[in-house]
Structure formats: C-alpha cells, structure tokens
C-alpha cells in the first residue's frame, strides 16, 4: 500500500519544504498538509519537484481561529469570507499542483447552514473543476470539534448527492468515523464510490496506527481488497519525534 504524510501533524516543527523532504526520506509516497498559506508556494513546489512527491491536498482557511472559527463554508453570515478562502485555496493548490482541497464547514447547525454549505460547495467545485482539482468534505467528531456542522458520513453523502458534481468527494478519516459511527469495514465498503481520500490515526488518542481500538492491518487490507490504490493519509499526532513513530510504515506498505 501507499501512504501520504500529513504534514500538519508529522514533522510539524519543520518548515513545510523541509517537512516534505523529511517525508521523502522516511519512505512516504505522497504528502498533504493543512494550511500552508504562510509559505511561498514556489518553495513548496520546488520541494515537491525535488522529491517527486505529489501533494494530495490542503484545507481552506479556518477563519479567525482566535475568535473560535474552524472553517467558514456553512456559516450563513460569512459567505464572502468563505468564498475568499475557497479562492485562496484553489489558487494556492493550483500553484503547487495539489490534487484536492478540503472545504471546511465550520461551527453551525440547521437548514440555513446546510443550504449555505451546499451553495459554497457548488461555487468551490465549479472553480476547482476548471483547474482539475477535486473538493473534499470531511465529517469531524463531536469530541474534538463539538458543534462542527458536518459530523457523519450520512450527512456528507446527502450533501454530495445534492451538489451532484463529479469533483466533490468524501474525505473518509477513519479516526473521526470510528469515534462517531464505528463499523469501519462496512462503512468503507458502502461509501467507496463517494470516497476521494482516506486518512487514519489510532483511536482514541489520535496517535500512530500501531495501537488503540482499531486493527489497522485489517482496515488497510479491507481498503486494498476494495481496489482503492491511492495513498492513505497518515494524519496522526506523534508522541515525540516523528521519525520514532514510524515503525508501522514498512509493515503496512507490504499489505
């Protein structure tokens, strides 16, 4: 199997270009990140070209984090800001060759938030589609992100069906889905046609996938048997230096 290093958590102490190089040295097949916007995209693109690693995805801006924002696209009173964040992400993603953009919904609830999210996703998909970029939406669990608009895969698939465009997909994060819904084997099977990217971390501590309540050797085998061949995103929080958390990697690459 192939794996992507999520550089929002792995080698987070390094500048993004150096983290890309560290991921290559450790044997990862791809990279992804959260919010790279303080780094000149030319420097990121140079590191990607040097290492020949694809950048699988970036996130839209969370907004005013100090004020409690965690995304903007489901907030009815923040549409201009949400679309500016989408514009920023698409422009940056195009500049570095990112394949996906995760549009973050934010803290909201209700029918108006749903309509706003759908409208902003239609805008994002239209803009990104012209750049050959896919848009991802990701349910977040209620423990780490209480009040986040998008919390379940059922809710996500309703939205994906309503927007009804080929470049809107589900980001299936095994960590979040296990905490909210469980039943990962069946969920992966049922949702395979909607999935654009898969991420993972141990449950419940969001560490490396070699411990916790989920048997990731089994989950990786399920994903392989489903015919999913894109790199899986290692989005976990290492307990100490990243290089000391990678014992799982070489074994998992053999699955």
Query: Domain total for the chain?
Result: 1
pLDDT given for residue 22 in this prediction? 98
State yes or no: is 235 an active-site residue: yes
Residue with structure tokens 């919390």? 151
| CB 92 within 8 Å of CB 58 | yes
pLDDT given for residue 255 in this prediction? 86
pLDDT given for residue 184 in this prediction? 98
Residue with structure tokens 């290093």? 5
What pTM was computed for the model? Answer: 0.97
Tokens of residue 1, six digits: 């199997």
Q: Which run of H or E residues covers position 6?
A: strand 3-6
Closest CA to 222 of 181, 248, 192: 192
The whole-angstrom separation of Cα 27 and Cα 159 is 36
Catalytic residue among 13, 32, 81, 235: 235
95: containing domain: 3-253
Domain of 148: which CATH number?
3.20.20.150
What is the block-wise mean pLDDT of the chain (255 residues), using blocks of 10 residues? Answer: 98 98 98 98 98 98 96 98 98 98 98 98 97 97 98 98 98 98 98 98 98 98 97 98 96 91
Closest CA to 128 of 94, 82, 84, 172: 94
Rg (CA), the chain: 17
SS3 state at 101: strand
Tokens of residue 92, six digits: 């940056």
The whole-angstrom separation of Cα 176 and Cα 102 is 15
Tokens of residue 170, six digits: 């589900």
Residue 83 CA neighbour count, 13 Å, CB half: 12
Catalytic residue among 13, 81, 94, 138: 138
| CB 148 within 8 Å of CB 70 | yes
| CB 4 within 8 Å of CB 56 | yes
The whole-angstrom separation of Cα 58 and Cα 131 is 15
């Amino acid at each position: 199997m192939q794996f992507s290093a999520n550089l929002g958590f792995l080698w987070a102490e390094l500048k993004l270009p150096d983290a890309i190089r560290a991921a290559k040295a450790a044997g990862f097949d791809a990279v992804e990140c959260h919010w790279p916007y303080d780094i000149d995209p030319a420097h990121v693109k140079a590191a990607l070209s040097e290492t020949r690693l694809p950048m699988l995805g970036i996130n839209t801006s969370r907004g005013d984090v100090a004020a409690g924002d965690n995304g903007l696209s489901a907030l009815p009173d923040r549409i201009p800001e949400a679309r500016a964040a989408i514009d920023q992400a698409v422009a940056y993603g195009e500049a570095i060759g990112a394949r996906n953009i995760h549009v973050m919904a934010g803290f909201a609830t209700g029918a108006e938030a749903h309509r706003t999210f759908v409208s902003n996703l239609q805008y994002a998909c239209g803009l990104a589609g012209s750049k050959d970029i896919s848009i991802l939406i990701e349910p977040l669990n209620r423990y780490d992100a209480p009040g986040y608009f998008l919390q379940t895969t059922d809710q996500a698939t309703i939205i994906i069906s309503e927007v009804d465009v080929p470049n809107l997909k589900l980001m299936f994060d095994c960590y979040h889905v296990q905490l909210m819904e469980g039943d990962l084997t069946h969920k992966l099977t049922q949702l395979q046609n909607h999935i654009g990217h898969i991420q993972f971390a141990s449950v419940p501590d969001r560490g490396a996938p070699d411990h916790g309540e989920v048997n990731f050797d089994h989950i990786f085998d399920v994903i392989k048997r489903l015919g999913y061949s894109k790199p899986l995103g290692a989005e976990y929080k290492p307990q100490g230096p990243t290089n000391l958390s990678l014992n799982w990697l070489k074994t998992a690459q053999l699955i």
